[in-house]
């Protein structure tokens, strides 16, 4: 089976958890939907492209960034000045309020991603990565991505002892007794009666060095790196 192998680097990144408001908490690795969004943006896609994604990697440390967020109480706020120091808001402008927010940021992030889709889609993604004329970001817009490797590889089933080389999101059925932190990550959504309903991925965040259960679902690429498709 063919897949696209990506090695990415980010100096800083925040993969913000849903409903994390007063403190912008980050996932330890980008959720699959975040990676999917980057790939769809790269292709300029306007509809969902079927694909499977494996997410592994790590980071050096986590930092806390202090930010001031501005909240608009009304969509009819009067005009105000925007300056290099922020929003030029007079105290009398009651439609705007501020709140101090702490944002968690991962520092020195390295990622190993595998993408499996139709051969034509993989070729398009490969071409776009190698001919893209604009910067890429993953997470926030300012979290820039450096592409260290982009190549098409063959995946093979793996039936021997498996010990993780990287931190990874691993499907629930492969976790066994491995210590992990459970997550239900967003993947795709449907609109039901005007409400966005997310389909979730049941995975565990497993750290490098942990053994995994030997069942169908573990793959290995040409570089002897494991692959875990959660969807």
pLDDT per position as a tens digit, 42-78: 999 989 999 999 999 999 999 988 877 777 777 766 6
Q: What is the pLDDT of residue 26?
A: 94
pLDDT in tens, 140-153: 899 999 999 999 99
The domains of the chain are located at 2-66+101-228, 67-100
Average pLDDT across the chain, whole number: 87
Q: Considering the entire predicted model, what is its pTM?
A: 0.86
Phi, psi at 131, each rounded to 5°: -130, 10
Whether 210 and 178 have beta carbons less than 8 Å apart is answered as yes
Inform me whether the pLDDT recorded for 158 exceeds 80. Answer: yes
2-66+101-228 belongs to CATH 3.40.50.2300: no
**For residues 169 and 32, is the Cβ–Cβ distance under 8 A?**
yes
pLDDT of residue 194: 85
Nearest-angstrom CA–CA distance, 142 and 136:
9
Q: From CA 118, how far away is CA 168, in angstroms rounded? A: 24
Coil/strand/helix, residue 41: helix
Strongest mean pLDDT among 25-34, 70-79, 83-92, 175-184:
25-34
Q: Within 10 A of 180 (CB to CB), how many other CB atoms are there?
A: 19
């Amino acid at each position: 089976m063919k897949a696209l192998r990506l090695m990415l680097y980010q100096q800083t990144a925040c993969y913000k958890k849903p409903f994390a408001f007063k403190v912008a908490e980050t996932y330890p690795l980008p959720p699959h939907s975040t990676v999917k969004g980057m790939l769809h943006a790269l292709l300029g896609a306007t509809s969902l492209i079927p694909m499977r994604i494996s997410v592994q990697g790590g980071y050096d440390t986590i930092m806390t960034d202090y930010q001031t967020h501005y909240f608009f109480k009304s969509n009819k706020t009067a005009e105000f000045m925007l300056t290099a120091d922020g929003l030029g808001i007079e105290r009398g402008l009651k439609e705007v309020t501020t709140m101090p927010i702490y944002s968690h940021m991962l520092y020195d992030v390295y990622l190993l991603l595998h993408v499996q889709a139709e051969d034509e889609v993989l070729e398009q993604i490969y071409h776009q990565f190698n001919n893209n004329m604009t910067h890429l970001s993953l997470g926030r817009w300012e979290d820039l991505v450096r592409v260290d490797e982009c190549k098409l590889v063959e995946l093979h089933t793996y039936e021997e002892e498996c010990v993780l080389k990287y931190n990874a999101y691993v499907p629930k059925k492969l976790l066994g007794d491995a210590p992990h932190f459970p997550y239900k990550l967003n993947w795709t959504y449907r609109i039901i009666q005007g409400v966005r309903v997310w389909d979730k991925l049941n995975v565990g965040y497993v750290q490098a060095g942990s053994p995994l259960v030997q069942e169908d679902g573990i793959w290995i690429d040409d570089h002897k790196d494991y692959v875990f498709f959660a969807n």
